Structure 1
Amino acid sequence: MTEDPIWQPLQAELARWIHANRSARFWLRDDDTVEPTAALDRLLQLADDFKVPTALAVIPVHTGEPLVKRLETERWISVLAHGWSHQNHAAKDKKKQELGPDRPRPLILEQLRDGCSRLAKLHPSRFVPVLVPPWNRIDPALLPYLGDCGFEALSVFGAAKPAANSLPAINTHVDLMDWHGTKGCRDHAELVAAIVTELRQRFDGSAEPIGILTHHLVHDESAWIFLKKLFQVVAKTPGGRWLSISELMKSQKPRDR
């Protein structure tokens, strides 16, 4: 186990789970995949080295056969739908959003159906029908219609907020990137503290798996170092385990839609 003091709080928290004969559930979502890149190769190698199931949120309209070919021998990779084109349609004074109220609902739903179908055809053995809205934002009025578009779950950022007539949520909770500051990786101690906070909430009753969010295309070296350390720490303790998005889907209770 690494002796880096930055990681001691996480090691101590996972030890508490071991002593309680419990195992914390983690999952990894990486956004904005389109095609093979050196950064994607690095992510795939890490996932393979540590046997970490990784869900790639792929932008349907911009991807194609090159990504299919690159992933054909990968064991730990699943594909999710990252909206349709990852294009912002919100007004300049609003937060970026592709799936907002700024366009006709039928058009948005048609694109989502097409995106779901396209990825299912490109990646028949890897695609899991989960919608990942670009920028983690979606108009609530769209939620009741996602099932008709072929989706079985939704993944955004933050604690899940179950709503009537909507899909199960499998969310992410800790984002490695400092989007509003350096644009690079967040401080490692800050990230460890965020993960520990999520673990303590789960220990006290929340059943949500802890979602770690990455963006391989914009990772600086610090982000890669953090991700590898996280994989190392979790790998060396039975207090935590990584689950695939397919496993998490199976654990969701069926809901009427």
Structure 2
Amino acid sequence: MQTFDQLDQELDRWTAEGRAVPLWWRDDDAATATPELTRLVAMARRHRLPLAIAAVPARMEPGLVGALSAPGVTVLQHGFAHVNHAGAGKRAVECGGDRPAKAVLAELGEGMRMLMREFGASFLPILVPPWNRIDPAVAAGLQQQGYFGLSSFGPRHFEGQGDGGKGGEGSTEDAPLVLPPRCAVINAHLDLLTWKEGPAFAGAEKLIRLFAERLEDRRLGRTDPAEPFGILTHHLAHDEATWSFLERLLGRLGSHPAIRFLPITTLLAETPVR
């Protein structure tokens, strides 16, 4: 079977059922203008696709604003400084850990104001927690802090989910995140990299298999059938194999009738909140 055949077959099933997949693209860890960031933004413009960039407020350098001032680019908030505050022996987390939720939320609020000042209307107050982890007490305070939504990794909780669905191979999320009050959850679901021994390309065949399987989960109702599907990239960690695969994947998706590639602003307006 050719690399994209399994994905094409699954998308054809969506078309045959008169359904379409709302798709979006998130890239993490932006802090400064780099050749990699320029390459990413140029790729999005070449394919005429919207791109959401998660920027780290406390690490921003002056050139970042110019690098992201392109049509179709929306800036999200990637934590505050991307610093681990987990206790000894625990999994990395910045939005939680050993600190009180009130202190974490105050720091995040400072980061939000920094991004608002720098990016203005290009900034959307959606929090992307570093390492895709956030303590429930912090998530519960996001709306009061002024956030419209949260973007983590893996299938979100939905009514009738039963055991919570399956995160699947490659998931960095410990468990599906329950919706925080009055906030939209718009997650990513396919990370082009693996992380166990440092960032590395996950491989074309594996990624296509995971993509098809996770779309099948939606189609059959094993995970939320209405949830947008997010592609996750990390421009600073891409090797040439990752860049090449991303180029081919975007071209393939952009031409399939079962794909609705949407900006996160549209997804926010369409996503229900509790």
Counterpart of 2:181 in structure 1 is 165
Aligned 8 A contact 1:54 1:77 in 2: yes
Q: Are 2:261 and 1:237 aligned?
A: no
Q: How many angstroms apart in 2 are the aligned matches of 1:165 and 1:24? A: 26
Identity %: 37
1:202 matches 2:202: no
1:31 aligned to 2:47? no
Give aligned pairs, total. Answer: 251
Give, as a single letter, the amino acid of the residue that structure 2 aligns with 1:135.
Answer: W
Map of 2:11 onto structure 1:
14
Query: Is there any run of 5+ residues in structure 2 with no aligned partner, and where?
Result: 158-177
Q: CA deviation at 1:116?
A: 1.1
- Alignment of structure 1 residues 95-134 onto 2, 5 Å: 95-134=91-130
Instruction: Please list the CA deviations of residues 211-257 of structure 1 after superposition, one character each: whole Å capped at 9, or x if unmatched.
Output: 111100001111111111110111221111211110110002243xx
Please, which of 144, 149, 152 is the counterpart of residue 148 of structure 1? 144
State the SS of the aligned residue for 1:57. strand
Q: What CA RMSD, in Å, does the superposition of the two structures yield over aligned residues?
A: 1.6
Counterpart of 1:212, as a letter, is I
Conserved in 2, the CA contact under 8 Å of 1:25 and 1:241? yes
Shift, 1:91, TM fit: 2.4
- Hey, what does 2:204 align to over in structure 1? 188
Counting only pairs closer than 5 Å after superposition, residues 57-96 of structure 1 correspond to structure 2 as 57-72=54-69, 74-96=70-92
**Counterpart secondary structure, 2:89:** coil
Instruction: Give 4+ residue runs of structure 1 displaced > 4 Å after superposition.
Output: none
Query: 2:84 is matched by which residue type in structure 1?
Result: N
State the alpha-carbon separation in 2 of the partners of residues 151 and 19 from structure 1. Answer: 38
Q: How far off its partner does 1:12 sit?
A: 1.6
Quick check: 1:116–1:149 contact (8 Å CA) kept in 2? no
The question of whether the paired residues in 2 share the 8 Å contact of 1:81 and 1:130 is answered with yes
SS at match of 2:153: coil
Q: CA separation of 1:150/1:201 partners in 2, compared to 1, >3 Å: closer, same or farther?
A: same
Deviation at 1:89, TM superposition (A): 1.2
Kept after mapping to 2: 8 A contact 1:79/1:128: yes
1:92: how far off? 3.3
Instruction: Write the distance in 2 (CA, Å) between the matches of 1:115 and 1:181.
Output: 30
Partner residue, 1:179 = 195
Matched with 1:228 is: 247
Q: Report the TM-score when normalising by structure 1.
A: 0.92
Q: Is the 8 A contact 1:97 1:135 kept in 2?
A: yes
C-alpha change, 1:165 and 1:28, in structure 2 (3 Å) is same
Deviations 1:80-111 (A, max 9, x none): 00000000111231111111231133221111
- Counterpart residue number, 2:265: 246
- Residues 143 and 166 of structure 1 are in contact (CA less than 8 Å); yes or no, is this contact kept in structure 2? no
Superposed CA deviations along residues 102-142 of structure 1, whole A, max 9, x for unmatched, are: 11332211111111111112111211110000000111111
Whole-angstrom distance in 2 between the partners of 1:148 and 1:83: 16
Q: Distance in 2 between matches of 1:180 and 1:155?
A: 22
- Once residues 127 and 172 of structure 1 are traced to their aligned partners in structure 2, the CA distance between those partners, rounded to angstroms, is 18
Distance 1:13 1:191 in 2: 14
Provide the secondary structure at the position in 2 that maps to 1:5. Answer: coil
